[in-house]
Amino acid sequence: MLVDKTNGRLSVSPGLEFHPKLPLDEFRARPDFDLWKNTVHLGDLYEGFTRDVIDNEQRKLNVQVTFLMSQLIVVYLSYFLPGEKDARFRESNYPDADTRRYHFHDRLLRAALGEPPYRFSWGFAGLGTHADGFSMISMDYGFQMGATAPNQES
């Protein structure tokens, strides 16, 4: 995972990059678009997609992207642990799996962006836990909708 702190460009793997103003039409025009599963569709307002990929370091992860009014607002990354079949919905939930994944995500984020907080002019990044219990990295570009992030860094 590579992140450009100045403009928010995220590179997950060769050919799989995201940026704060990525339009939905450009995303749909990608040659690999048919590999993405549509997870939510609310007309022209809100649309989400997910896909498992291999990153630049040959690690498996699940990538979820969400568009609001045809503009990318958030990318979620959830890395698989060794031997795990699904990084989000595991068949057997080991008690320490999410803790280990959270710490792994923390190390990746610190390697890419340094020490927190991760607030920038393009939005913010962070660690989180989904309501379903899985840990993830969030690249939130929602501040591109006109608001500014508190305590912005450049």
Q: Is 151 domain-assigned?
A: no
Q: What is the mean pLDDT of residues 84-111?
A: 76
pLDDT at 145: 41
Q: Does the structure show a pLDDT above 60 at 91?
A: no
Q: CB within 8 A of 145, min separation 6: which ones?
A: 68, 71, 73
Q: Residue 78: inside a domain, yes or no? A: yes
Please indicate, yes or no, if residue 152 is contained in any of the structural domains. Answer: no
Q: How many domains does the chain have?
A: 1
pLDDT tens-digit series, residues 54-77: 998 999 999 999 999 999 999 999
Question: Which residue range(s) make up the domain with 24?
Answer: 2-145
Q: 10 in a domain, yes or no?
A: yes
150 within a domain of the structure (yes/no): no
What is the reported pLDDT for 81?
83
Average pLDDT for 24-35: 95
